[in-house]
Amino acid sequence: MKCLVILLICTFSCLQCATAQNTELEQTYNKAFDFHYAHKDSAYHYYNKTIRLADGQNELEYMLSAYIYLMNANGHYYDLKNYRKNLKKEDSLLRYDKRFKTLSNIDYYKDYLLFDKGNYHYKIKDYTTAKGYFQKLFAKLNAIPEAQRNRNDLATLSSLYSFLGAIYKHTGKYELAEYNFKKDIALVSTYKDSMDDWKTSSMNSKKLLSQVYEDKKDFKAANLLLTEALSYYKSQIKDPSFKNRILSTYILLAKNSIIQGNFISAIATLDESAYLYFEDNPFSREVDLIYGDAYLGLKDYDKAATYYHAGLLKIKAYRENQKHQDMAMVYTRLGKVSLRQRKIAEALSYYQTALMQLEKDFNNPDFDSNPNPDKVLSKTILVTVLKEKLNALYESYSMTNDIEYLKTANSTSKTIIKTLDVLRPEFESKLDKEFLVTETYPTIQTMVRISYELYQQSKDNSYIDDAFYFMEKSKSIALLEAHRNSEATKYGNIPDGIISEEQIYRAKISHLDEEIFNANPNDKAALIDSLFLIKKEYYEYIAKIEHDYPKYHALKYNADVVSSQELKNELHTDQSVFSYLVTDNSIFLTVLTHENDAFYKLPFNETLKKTITDYYRQLSMPNIEDRTSYSINSKLIYKAIIEPALDNNTFTDIVILADDVLNYIPFDVLQTNPLEEKSYLLFKYSISYASSATLYLEQNKTNVKSSNKLMIFAPNFNKSVSGIKADQERFDMGPLIYNIQEAKNISEYFRGTIYDGNRASIANFQKDIDAYNLIHFATHASANDEFPDYSYLAFEDTDDTSNLLYVKDLYNYHIDADMVTLSACQTGFGKLQKGEGMLSLARGFNYAGVPSLVTSLWKINDQSTSEIMKSFYENLSNGLNKKEALRQAKLRYLNSNDDALLRHPYYWSGIVITGNTMPLTSTDYLLWAIVALIGLLLIWLLYKKSINRFK
């Protein structure tokens, strides 16, 4: 990277203090430097000679500087064996040779030794150790006030940002990687007058940043940065130190082309760089692999295999035939080639050999065996190789129809899941965790597909259990982790003071997030810096808590999900759970009841997807001219996604675990007959929704309160909203005509308080929330598809603020309520994300710990919603469970409206219930019934007693 820039500054500043006048020593030193990039052996010879001369003459600074240059040359030529040996020698000198303790500038050398240790471990891909050294040095330099930092400090900080960014990139932490690279680019731009070769430093970080964009599939941004860097590097071609930079940039451009399927372009890019190859070129082995990837893409399998084998030989020599993840990735490539040539046994042998490279003591050639995820060199690489092996096993089955390949694939699936469970705690950032889930989602789809094939061939219900397990592992993982983090905080034996400190950190992060979202471009850089410093402190604080409180760590990272049998044991006799998984051409559905289970593979294509999105549009924006246009689509969707599961079944209570576009559908509005209004599923089935079965059962364990108190928010929105931000965000929030009436209606059934007008503020919500277990919002809301964390719920505008409660704010709340009703527009609607479902406002309340939510899927009608909510709360007060209370409220609405237009599903079907649907505890009516029963029992006992007395 930028090691030599730092090295030059450090060395020259130190050697200015040296007293050596020996001509031979100086000449030897200069010769070594002349050969630094030109000839490895000559450079090594003269640096070692310099060390010997300096040692004999007690020229300590020349000696240490020669070691630093020598290790820089080791790194440049990727000669890691000698790098390690020289590190140990210099470390020993600084530790045990008393002569060096007298050096006034010894700290320069100690700092650079830290840097070299980090660099060495980075090169051997031991990222955890490398990060530790770099962070130790970074903390020391960052503590120096900006005004007091010298040229060496700035250059070192620049390089540390680059290294840390690269480490975060390689470990899948893209948010932190992007921040560090951008931070370095900003640093060198700000201090370019105080930094030697600042432009090279900037281009190096831009090149590295391009890899983050490439992994995030932003190829255009990646290409722009690479092209800019390559143009600059080529302008410096006369400097031999730029050869490696130019070669590495060509390689990255070629990789980018391959990912996008431009194989000819990739080969042309590599050919263009051929003039730069030189003896012992450290990039030649990687160039071989990229050529192989390009020819594999072109289906020239012989050429691909030739290049892969050439690269493998070089890597083996470089790694001295020791196990290493680099070799694992080459064997994985060779496996692909063999598989494409339909050489199944050879392909699987290569994949197994790849796995053997990842664990020191794993040498099992049996395809059924896999390494222990806790012992491998790299969990990320293990997941990559296992995914390739899984696909190979499935393809082998497709070629041969041999079920044994499927059985091996099934056991491999379980190892992948175990590895992901071990890997997930290493990801601090919410964005990176979501990215991990998104990246592994296609593999989950393959696992379920394999389970279905095994079930079809064997009719063994254990494969339904497996499919359900894999589906659970793909559903709302981040939400489940948030729920378990909350439980861990409660029961992890953590002192209140520590919990309070953690909440302060989260509040600061949330506040800065919002400031950045609304800031103008000129102010964002400083705010982003503040945010990431706080995040860094927060992650370190959480890591310390996890270390100091093992029970908290165990509860927080408990990766268990409910099994199908555990779920079935909790279901009542007429209840069922439908778990969906949507792939490119199929919908997989497991149906579990108390006694039975079933597994379906339903056709899915772009036509059905369009039908579903059209249907959503027809429901949410009704066509007055054609009031029944939705009916045909309703029947089509019914037949496609649910009819097979309902045939010959007697259950009437259904919990839907939706996936992908199925999240758009309120299932109770699906029709069995498009000409018959009473064919809605609503008339026969009581339907609710859940993010996952695991979360559903955990939400059902929530201890409901002994008495119910209702908090109702009904803002007026009668006055103009103040502030520029408010004008931009709430321009369409006119008065809600029926929300006050809705509040009054539902307050008849439960004791509580109506917060209307100026009382309907966020301040009052925050202040009084703990006093209520039922919360109802009759207000405006807005879904933000592009930035889901900025979907919001609107409170009354007071005190010159817009009073918007964002989803991201809810991440910092703990709401100890049994049920929240969001009687507002689009509170259950949001951006779809693979593995996480709908990123909606409702999801924010789930994060805050609310087990039961009533929400809307579109901009609902104020009047009809008011009527339905009145009936819903009346039904709840009469002891009905929540889902049946909502179902009966919808039926009453339909039965009480003679106007066909008002019976359109737009007016009633968009209100859905998610999570815990059990009845609320004692209401006034139920209490009186119990009292009456007790009274009758007492009368009967007195009567019996009087009869016995007279006998």
Give the pair of three-digit tokens for residue 49. Answer: 């000679």
Q: Please, how many CA atoms are within 13 Å of residue 848, restricted to the half-sphere of its CB?
A: 27
For position 5, what pLDDT does the model report? 45
Q: What does the pLDDT average to over 36-50?
A: 88
For residues 210 and 221, what is the distance between their CA atoms, to the nearest angstrom?
Answer: 7
DSSP label at residue 913 = E
The answer to whether the beta carbons of residues 305 and 334 sit under 8 Å apart is: yes
For position 333, what pLDDT does the model report? 97
The stretches of 319-357 forming alpha helices (DSSP H) are 325-340, 344-356
CA 565 and chain centroid, separation: 29
For residues 152 and 191, what is the distance between their CA atoms, to the nearest angstrom?
Answer: 12
**Backbone Cα Rg of the chain:** 33
The answer to whether the beta carbons of residues 253 and 269 sit under 8 Å apart is: yes
For position 947, what pLDDT does the model report? 61
Q: What does the pLDDT average to over 286-307?
A: 96
- Which of 167-181, 603-617, 933-947 is predicted with the least confidence, judged by mean pLDDT? 933-947
- Which of 83-92, 356-365, 632-641, 732-741 is predicted with the least confidence, judged by mean pLDDT? 732-741
Tell me if residue 547 falls in helix, strand or coil. Answer: helix
Q: How confident is the model at residue 533 (pLDDT cuts 50, 70, 90)?
A: confident
| 584-597 residue pLDDT tens | 999 999 999 998 99
Q: Which residues contact 246 (CB under 8 A, 6 or more apart)?
A: 230, 233, 234, 237, 273, 276
For position 491, what pLDDT does the model report? 59
For position 19, what pLDDT does the model report? 45
For position 20, what pLDDT does the model report? 45
pLDDT at 632 over 60: yes
Q: What does the pLDDT average to over 147-171?
A: 89
How do 653-657 and 597-603 pair as beta strands? unpaired
DSSP label at residue 142 = H
For residues 126 and 221, what is the distance between their CA atoms, to the nearest angstrom?
Answer: 29
Answer with the residue of higher pLDDT: 304 or 55.
304
For position 352, what pLDDT does the model report? 97
For position 104, what pLDDT does the model report? 83
Q: How confident is the model at residue 34 (pLDDT cuts 50, 70, 90)?
A: confident
Give the pair of three-digit tokens for residue 348. Answer: 């699987």
For residues 916 and 397, what is the distance between their CA atoms, to the nearest angstrom?
Answer: 42
For residues 842 and 692, what is the distance between their CA atoms, to the nearest angstrom?
Answer: 15
Question: Cβ-count burial of 23 within 10 angstroms (0-12 exposed, 13-18 middle, 19+ buried)?
Answer: exposed
For position 406, what pLDDT does the model report? 96
pLDDT at 4 over 50: no
| 878-915 residue pLDDT tens | 999 999 999 999 999 999 988 888 888 988 998 999 99
For position 918, what pLDDT does the model report? 92
Reading phi first (left if > 0) and then psi (alpha if -120 to 50, else beta), residue 848 is in: alpha
For position 606, what pLDDT does the model report? 94
Question: Cβ-count burial of 235 within 10 angstroms (0-12 exposed, 13-18 middle, 19+ buried)?
Answer: exposed
Q: What does the pLDDT average to over 347-376?
A: 94
Q: How confident is the model at residue 332 (pLDDT cuts 50, 70, 90)?
A: very high
Q: How confident is the model at residue 45 (pLDDT cuts 50, 70, 90)?
A: very high
pLDDT > 70 fraction of the chain, expressed in percent and rounded: 83
Q: What does the pLDDT average to over 678-684?
A: 93
- Which of 176-190, 329-343, 708-722, 935-949 is predicted with the least confidence, judged by mean pLDDT? 935-949
**Distance between start and end Cα atoms, the chain:** 105
Q: What does the pLDDT average to over 239-247?
A: 84
Cβ neighbour number for residue 546 with a 10 Å cutoff? 17
Share the mean pLDDT of the chain: 83
- Which of 28-37, 61-70, 230-239, 787-796 is predicted with the least confidence, judged by mean pLDDT? 787-796
pLDDT at 421 over 70: yes
Q: What does the pLDDT average to over 927-943?
A: 61
Query: What is the rounded (10 degree) CA torsion for 458, 464, 467, 471?
Result: 170
Q: What does the pLDDT average to over 860-869?
A: 83
For position 949, what pLDDT does the model report? 52
- Which of 262-276, 426-440, 520-534, 796-810 is predicted with the least confidence, judged by mean pLDDT? 426-440
Q: What is the pTM of this model?
A: 0.76
Any idea how long the chain is?
A: 951
For residues 659 and 612, what is the distance between their CA atoms, to the nearest angstrom?
Answer: 13
Q: What does the pLDDT average to over 497-519?
A: 73
Q: How confident is the model at residue 810 (pLDDT cuts 50, 70, 90)?
A: confident
Answer with the residue of higher pLDDT: 795 or 456.
456
For position 726, what pLDDT does the model report? 42
Q: What does the pLDDT average to over 711-738?
A: 60
Give the pair of three-digit tokens for residue 852. Answer: 């039961």
- Which of 133-142, 250-259, 354-363, 853-862 is predicted with the least confidence, judged by mean pLDDT? 853-862
Residue type, 481: E
DSSP label at residue 273 = T
Closest by CA position to 823, among listed 785, 774, 784, 789: 774
Q: What does the pLDDT average to over 236-255?
A: 88
pLDDT at 831 over 60: no
3-state helix, strand, coil in the chain (%, to 5): 65, 10, 25
Match 């933000």 to its residue by tokens.
784
Q: What does the pLDDT average to over 87-103?
A: 89
For residues 781 and 95, what is the distance between their CA atoms, to the nearest angstrom?
Answer: 64
Looking at mean pLDDT, say which of 407-416, 541-550, 922-931 comes out highest: 407-416
pLDDT at 801 over 80: no
Going from the C-alpha of 585 to that of each of 473, 545, 581, the distances in angstroms are: 21, 45, 11
For position 921, what pLDDT does the model report? 64
Give the pair of three-digit tokens for residue 925. Answer: 């009516």
Answer with the residue of higher pLDDT: 275 or 471.
471
Annotate 35-96 with DSSP letters as a single string. Answer: TTTT-HHHHHHHHHHHHHHHHHTT-HHHHHHHHHHHHHHHHHTT-HHHHHHHHHHHHHHHHH
